[in-house]
Amino acid sequence: MRTKKPHHKVSAYREIPKDGHVDGNVIELSAAQRAARVIQWIENLIVPSGTRAGRKFKLDAWQKNIIRDIYRSRGRRRIIRLGVLSFGRKNGKTTLSACLALCHLSGPEAVRHGEVYSAASDRNQAGIVFQMMMDIALANEILCSRIAFKTYNKTAEDVANGSKYAALSSDARKAHGLSPTFWIGDEVAQWKNRDLLDALRTGMGAHDEPLGLVISTRSPDPQNPLEELIDYGLKVERGEINDPTFALFLYSAPLDADPWSPETWRLANPAMGKFRSTRDIEVLAAQAQHIPSMEASFRAYVLNQPTATDARWLAPADWEACAGTADPVGECYGGLDLASGAADLTAFSLFWPASGTLKTWAFLPADLIGIKEKQDRAPYRLWTEQKYIVRVPGKVVDRAWLGQWIYQQTNGLDLRAVASDRWLLEDLKAQFDREGVALPLEPHGAGFKDVSPSLTAFEALVLAGKLHHGGNPVLRWAVSNVAIDSDPAGNRKPSKLRSTGRIDPAVSAIYAVGIATRYVEKVIKFGDRELLIAI
């Protein structure tokens, strides 16, 4: 796809052929000159969006130092062939990656018929760099006039020098045909395997000055290829290995450092106070001090520590502090989590934002309660007697029966919406319609994108003591079972695979609060700080 007409003309430059001659004159660049022209070229580009849109890029001192080290040369030859950059999220990784990729595609580091790649855990993630590259090109006339972008397959070609770019996923099956002159490995800590990384590294041998950059937060797995590279780089720095072609740039807080200290934050966030918001880190730290899973994510993604993000979810003390009751008033919202198996635990929740009241019911087939109690190691019969579990006649949770029960339970209430997984939602609606059940069902995705904001809103209510769940033992049990998964972008969701037991009641509660976030806004306080959520 050809880009539209841009609004700025970037400074021109002269390509330096491989033989180092221009118009018969030999071009010799010192180490300082080579890095300086990369910095100058990037700072001549125009920022395409955000608060600085329309103005030239301005690299921070730490970014310039990285570029100076990477592009240092001996004579006309660049020394570094592989670099690893690791720092906390939101420190400009995507922008720096896009600028360097453009520099090697069409800038002063470009070579004729070069191959430039950005690789990530999947095509969509790799496409983030592609999109940034295209946005920058749209804002700069010379780049726009010489680069042809194809959005359908996330590729680009410089029509002047024949160089090509492509966005790759870490599970690419044709990686062994690559011969990159420049490549970026994005968030390698999240890659499923090392096949593409090895293919990119070994494919550079056909070129005089290839360069690969791994830019990622850290991994808790010491066998992860990123951690192996970091370990290698530390040995190079200590002089245990002699490898002048390798460079490590590691911004990571020590595991024994105070995680709540701004000084610790700065160790992993070189852009803090500039384009990395200090206020955002403060809010994340305030939440992380109360939510175990958030602390794990905070350490992994903000402090860039090699820690796992699968900690238990809410602290028991915070959950028990919300065990009181409140009269349900005003409009309410529902959450329905249907079990994957027809005979498994199903859950339904109602949430009243005005009072913070949360009610949750679980459902099991009456004929299988004893069997399910043994399988799940939970006191289902006791909870049935206490009316926290509803007995569904027969051996399955009949959805028609369930729809009738929900309709009767909510009849007369100001029920605005019931969130349910969009998978097979249309079939559920059709089934309810056949039974004459009128419920305002709305889709709620089960992936990271949709669940993460609902999860955050739910947690905010718990931490602020604004949720009143009445001490429901089934819900308490489900909440204690929840393990949290995180994606490469830091979004989170409950993991049914890794949780220690059934979590359906907790999921239905999260959905109920989540659907309410589409309708109501509320300010939740964390000590002397405030967080605006849509509740």
CATH number where 414 lies: 3.30.420.240
Q: Report if residue 168 sits inside a domain.
A: yes
For 124-280, strand residue ranges (E) read: 147-150, 155-158, 164-169, 182-186, 211-215, 246-250
- Residue 12, pLDDT > 50, answer no
Two structure tokens written together for 121? 């855990």
Which residue would you say has higher pLDDT here, 14 or 355?
355
Under 8 Å between Cβ of 475 and 360: yes
The percent of residues above 70 in pLDDT, for the chain, comes to 89
Residues 501-525 as b/e (b if ≥16 CB within 10 A, e otherwise) read: ebbbbbbbbbbbbbbbbeeeebebe
> What is the model's pLDDT at position 254?
92
Which residue would you say has higher pLDDT here, 521 or 358?
358
Two structure tokens written together for 288? 């992380």
Beta-sheet pairing, 357-365 with 389-392: parallel
DSSP 238-250: TTSS--TTEEEEE
Range 272-301 average pLDDT: 89
- Residue 515, pLDDT > 50, answer yes
CA dist 345 and 358 (Å) reads 19
Q: Report if residue 51 sits inside a domain.
A: no
> What is the model's pLDDT at position 309?
66
Residue 139 sits in the same domain as residue 212: yes
Residue 358 sits in the same domain as residue 284: no
Range 482-509 average pLDDT: 86
- Residue 17, pLDDT > 60, answer no
Residue 113 sits in the same domain as residue 218: yes
Range 213-222 average pLDDT: 88
Q: Report if residue 126 sits inside a domain.
A: yes
pLDDT tens, position by position, 308-324: 766 668 877 789 899 99
> Can you give the three-state secondary structure of 321-374, one letter per residue?
CCCCCCCCCCCEEEEEECCCCCCCCEEEEEEECCCCEEEEEEEEEHHHHHHHHH
Under 8 Å between Cβ of 313 and 484: yes
Under 8 Å between Cβ of 304 and 252: yes
> What is the model's pLDDT at position 18?
38
> What is the model's pLDDT at position 480?
84
Residues 92-101 as b/e (b if ≥16 CB within 10 A, e otherwise) read: bbbbbbbbbb
Which residue would you say has higher pLDDT here, 423 or 148?
148
> What is the model's pLDDT at position 123?
74
pLDDT tens, position by position, 76-131: 789 999 999 999 999 999 999 999 999 999 999 999 999 999 999 887 788 899 99
> What is the model's pLDDT at position 21?
32
Under 8 Å between Cβ of 447 and 493: yes
Q: Report if residue 66 sits inside a domain.
A: no
- Residue 533, pLDDT > 50, answer no
- Residue 276, pLDDT > 90, answer yes
Residue 446 sits in the same domain as residue 346: yes
Two structure tokens written together for 347? 């859950």
Helix (H, G, I), strand (E, B) or coil at 435: coil
CATH value at residue 158? 3.40.50.300
> What is the model's pLDDT at position 56?
94
> What is the model's pLDDT at position 237?
95
Range 497-526 average pLDDT: 79
Q: Report the mean per-residue pLDDT for the chain.
A: 86
Residue 18, C-beta contacts closer than 8 angstroms, at least 6 positions apart: 111, 112, 208
- Residue 164, pLDDT > 50, answer yes
Residue 386 sits in the same domain as residue 275: no
Under 8 Å between Cβ of 353 and 520: yes
**CA triplet 353, 355, 361: central angle to 5 degrees?**
75
Complete edge-to-edge strand list for the sheet that includes strand 415-421: 389-392, 357-365, 346-352, 332-337, 415-421, 441-444
Two structure tokens written together for 153? 């397959």
CA dist 285 and 294 (Å) reads 9
Query: Which DSSP helix (H) or strand (E) runs through 162?
Result: none
Question: Would you place residue 1 in the very low, low, confident or very high pLDDT band (cuts 50, 70, 90)?
Answer: very low
Q: Report if residue 75 sits inside a domain.
A: no
pLDDT tens, position by position, 342-370: 778 999 999 999 999 999 999 999 999 99
- Residue 140, pLDDT > 70, answer yes
Start-to-end CA distance of the chain, whole Å, equals 41
Which residue would you say has higher pLDDT here, 373 or 266?
266
> What is the model's pLDDT at position 30?
63
- Residue 528, pLDDT > 60, answer no
The pTM assigned to this predicted structure is: 0.62
- Residue 394, pLDDT > 60, answer yes
Range 260-279 average pLDDT: 95
Helix (H, G, I), strand (E, B) or coil at 134: helix
Residue 148 sits in the same domain as residue 211: yes
**Alpha helix stretches (DSSP H) within 260-398:** 262-268, 278-288, 292-297, 316-320, 369-376, 380-385
Residue 204 sits in the same domain as residue 347: no
| DSSP annotation of 419 | E
Range 58-81 average pLDDT: 92
* Amino acid present at 138: L
Q: Which residue has the tokens 């290829």?
A: 225
> What is the model's pLDDT at position 489?
78
> What is the model's pLDDT at position 365?
93
Residue 421 class from Cβ within 10 Å (0-12 exposed, 13-18 middle, 19+ buried)?
Answer: buried
CA dist 443 and 62 (Å) reads 45
Residue 232 sits in the same domain as residue 336: no
> What is the model's pLDDT at position 8?
40
> What is the model's pLDDT at position 27?
44
Q: Report if residue 68 sits inside a domain.
A: no
Residue 442 sits in the same domain as residue 358: yes
Residue 430 sits in the same domain as residue 454: yes
pLDDT tens, position by position, 23-43: 333 345 666 788 999 999 999
| DSSP annotation of 276 | B
Under 8 Å between Cβ of 313 and 456: no
- Residue 259, pLDDT > 50, answer yes
Q: Report if residue 17 sits inside a domain.
A: no
**CA triplet 70, 71, 72: central angle to 5 degrees?**
100
Q: Which of 51-65, 74-88, 186-200, 375-389 has the lowest mean pLDDT?
A: 186-200
* Amino acid present at 432: F
Residue 505 sits in the same domain as residue 357: yes
Residue 155 sits in the same domain as residue 268: no
pLDDT tens, position by position, 400-427: 899 899 999 999 999 999 999 888 788 8
Question: Would you place residue 483 in the very low, low, confident or very high pLDDT band (cuts 50, 70, 90)?
Answer: confident
Two structure tokens written together for 532? 């605006």
Residue 11 class from Cβ within 10 Å (0-12 exposed, 13-18 middle, 19+ buried)?
Answer: exposed
| DSSP annotation of 188 | G
Question: Would you place residue 16 in the very low, low, confident or very high pLDDT band (cuts 50, 70, 90)?
Answer: very low
Q: Report if residue 102 sits inside a domain.
A: yes
Query: Which DSSP helix (H) or strand (E) runs through 485?
Result: strand 484-486
What is the total count of domains within the chain? 3
409 lies in which domain range? 316-533
CA dist 342 and 454 (Å) reads 26
> What is the model's pLDDT at position 194?
79
